[in-house]
């Protein structure tokens, strides 16, 4: 890999520091932590929720200024979130995928 390309890839990987995913009831909640020192950063966030075994996202959000997202889950299974962070000034998009989280359905018999 060329040095210039390697630096760009490392820069993008470091920009999104962490993607937290957790379940509260039937809600899958996501929080994206980015590395910025600006008080009012020019970034927008989009969240795509995927279920293991499916190629298409089960939920997609539009770009918003909020670094959090919430989706109601109706099925059990393993889910993960792909976060897109867009710089409004340069239109550069950085992505990061969360760790998977398991949604278990409890059924009374």
Query: Which domains, from first to last, does the chain contain?
Result: 3-103 (2.60.40.10)
Whether 23 has a pLDDT exceeding 50, the answer reads: yes
pLDDT given at position 31: 97
pLDDT bucket at 66, cuts 50 / 70 / 90: very high
Nearest to 105 by CA among 75, 70, 71, 78: 75
Q: What is the mean predicted confidence (pLDDT) over 75-80? A: 94
Average pLDDT over residues 68-96: 94
Task: Identify the band that residue 30 occupies on the pLDDT scale cut at 50, 70 and 90.
Answer: very high
User: CA 68, CA 7: separation in Å to the nearest integer?
Assistant: 28
Q: What is the pLDDT of residue 14?
A: 77
Six-digit token string for 74: 């109706």
Distance in Å from the first CA to the final CA of the chain:
57
The per-residue pLDDT for 12 is 53
Judged by average pLDDT, the poorest of 17-31, 32-46, 56-70 is 32-46
Helices (H), 1-109: 3-15
Task: Give the pLDDT confidence score for residue 1 in this predicted structure.
Answer: 47
Does the global pTM surpass 0.85? no
């Amino acid at each position: 890999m060329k040095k210039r390309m390697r630096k760009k890839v490392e820069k993008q990987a470091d920009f999104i520091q962490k993607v937290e995913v957790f379940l509260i009831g039937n809600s899958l909640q996501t929080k994206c932590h980015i590395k910025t020192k600006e008080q009012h950063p020019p970034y927008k966030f989009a969240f795509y929720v995927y279920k293991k075994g499916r190629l298409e996202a089960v939920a997609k959000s539009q770009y918003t200024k909020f670094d959090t997202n919430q989706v109601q889950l109706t099925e059990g299974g393993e889910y993960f979130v792909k976060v897109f962070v867009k710089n409004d000034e340069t239109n550069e998009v950085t992505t990061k995928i969360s760790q998977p989280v398991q949604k278990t359905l409890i059924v009374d018999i």
